[in-house]
Structure 1
Amino acid sequence: MNILDTIKTAKLKEVALLKSKYFYSFLEEQPLFNSATHSMKKAIENSVTGGIIAEFKRKSPAKGNINLNADVVELTQGYANAMVSGLSVLTDFEFFGARKTDFELARESNSIPMLRKDFMVDEYQILQSKAMGADVILLIAKILTSNQLKSFTNLAHDLGMEVFLETQNETEILENLDLPFDLIGINNRNLNSFEVSVDNSIKLAQLLPKSSIKIAESGIQSPATIQLLKANGFDGFLIGEYFMKDEKPAEKCKNLIQQLL
């Protein structure tokens, strides 16, 4: 199995356990379940600072430990002060080292749009995301059927959240052009080989309608790469490791944005 298959198998077991402990009614009773959401799509459309979605993650399967002991409140507030368009916060413990309170603390500390970054395999996680105060959920085309993508998207929209669809090849894009996603990400990293190719993302972006809000993901290491991607139709840029591996991630983020202005 490749890493995505491994993660999906583990996630299905994790969700089954959660469903046995915390019923749907428990999620619906959480204080943030009925809270208003913030539009990441509009934030990127209206951005004057480059459409950056800054990610908080402690480790990854591709890179191992990145910044295990980072302070989620200090760091995400630093990202917000740098005028990013939104935050992405990992919530997976087994593969990405997320702590149970990472998303909660980031939500309490920030009012800008937040993406819950996890591997959605069950509608339960969509309701859980709303209960956590997420504004956007991630749906990965590679691990979901077309029916799942449609039903998860509809449920997220019914709950007032936006959908960030992640794709990585031509088939995943062409098969989902009718899906009413709000943001579409093209991952520069091949999730089977971990190779990074910006050229592949540029080629794939041409398949999308001009009206799509296109987000480049993974392997973005410089203002020059962002400018190249922007010139080829990308509106936003999800950046995690480049910031997180630095001693001062928020400063790194601020410096990158200043170079884009």
Structure 2
Amino acid sequence: MTILEKIIAHKKQEVAQLRKEVQVEKLVKSPNFQRVPLSLKKSLLSVGSTGIIAEYKRKSPSKGIINDQADIVDVTNGYLSANVAAQSILTDTEFFGGNIMDVMKARTVNETTPILRKDFIVDGFQIVEAKAIGADVILLIAACLTKEELKNYGKLAEDLGLDVLYEIHTEEELEKIDADNKIIGINNRNLKTFKVDLEHSIELASKIPDTCVKVSESGISDPRIITGLKEYGFQGFLIGENFMKTEDPGLACQEFINKIG
């Protein structure tokens, strides 16, 4: 069983339990559900955008504990000061040490910048929940969803006003998505082996329609990599571990952005 299969199996059980405990009606009545979500697409394409989607995560299956000391509000304020294009927050508890409260706390200090609720979506319930906790964007991972699920979950998110970041790692996964005008993220890390390969992403980028916004995810540790990726049409860059492994992720992010040519 790969790490991804393990995560998905656990997630399905977790969501089934959650559905018993929390009614969708209750989510719809939450204050955040009434707010108009911010557009990730607009933020990435706006003139002068840094393109950086800065992530908050405490741990990961491949690295163990990355940073379980940094406070979500402090990190959020630091990222906002660094002028990130968006913020990504891991809400998976079991494997990444996150939770939905992280998004809710970040939202209290961040009214201007899109928040991506990063999790393993296996049920429409999680999409409604994402809006209820104040997220603007959800992640749909093509590796663990069928073509039908990608279409249905994408439609549900759209109906709720949320943007979708579709994550792929292979050409087969790209073919599962009706890619026109979508935000497509290429994960440089193979979710089965957790190895990082930027060349593979660059090759895959050429297969993505020009109407899409291309995002490069994982393994970006040098500002010069951003400059290179921009030449291949990437407009968004999701970076987490590189900032989170420092004592002050916001400052690390600021210094990184200052070095982008």
TM-score by length of 2: 0.97
Q: Is this contact kept in 1: 2:142–2:176, CA < 8 A?
A: no
Tell whether 2:119 aligns with 1:101.
Answer: no
Within a 5 Å distance, the mapping from 1:4-15 to structure 2 comes to 4-15=4-15
CA distance in 1 between partners of 2:170 and 2:181 (Å): 17
Aligned equivalent of 1:171: 172
Aligned equivalent of 2:2: 2
The one-character-per-residue Cα deviations of 1:150-200 (angstroms, maximum 9, x if unpaired) are 110000000000110000011111332x24663110000011111111000
Aligned equivalent of 1:225: 225
Counterpart code for 2:17: L
Within a 5 Å distance, the mapping from 1:1-261 to structure 2 comes to 1-111=1-111, 112-176=113-177, 178-179=178-179, 182-261=182-261
CA distance in 2 between partners of 1:180 and 1:212 (Å): 6
CA distance in 1 between partners of 2:108 and 2:182 (Å): 24
CA distance in 1 between partners of 2:234 and 2:67 (Å): 28
CA distance in 1 between partners of 2:118 and 2:232 (Å): 25
User: Secondary structure of 1:13's match?
Assistant: helix
CA distance in 2 between partners of 1:255 and 1:85 (Å): 15
Q: Is this contact kept in 1: 2:216–2:236, CA < 8 A?
A: yes
What's the % identity of the aligned pairs?
47
User: Secondary structure of 2:185's match?
Assistant: strand
* CA displacement at 1:49 relative to structure 2: 4.4
CA distance in 1 between partners of 2:83 and 2:31 (Å): 27
User: Secondary structure of 2:9's match?
Assistant: helix
Q: Is this contact kept in 2: 1:54–1:79, CA < 8 A?
A: yes
Counterpart code for 1:105: K
TM-score by length of 1: 0.97
Counterpart code for 1:172: E
Distance 1:173 1:129, change over 3 A: same
CA distance in 2 between partners of 1:129 and 1:70 (Å): 23
How many residue pairs get aligned? The number is: 260
Q: Is this contact kept in 1: 2:184–2:212, CA < 8 A?
A: yes
Structure 1: gaps (5+ residues) = none
CA distance in 2 between partners of 1:193 and 1:47 (Å): 37
Write out the 4+ residue segments of structure 1 that deviate beyond 3 Å after TM superposition: 179-182
User: Secondary structure of 1:68's match?
Assistant: coil
CA distance in 1 between partners of 2:46 and 2:54 (Å): 16
User: Secondary structure of 2:35's match?
Assistant: coil
Q: Is this contact kept in 1: 2:181–2:213, CA < 8 A?
A: no
Distance 1:100 1:139, change over 3 A: closer
User: Secondary structure of 2:165's match?
Assistant: strand
Q: Is this contact kept in 2: 1:150–1:179, CA < 8 A?
A: no
> Mean Cα displacement is larger for which, 223-232 or 157-166?
223-232
CA distance in 2 between partners of 1:4 and 1:246 (Å): 26
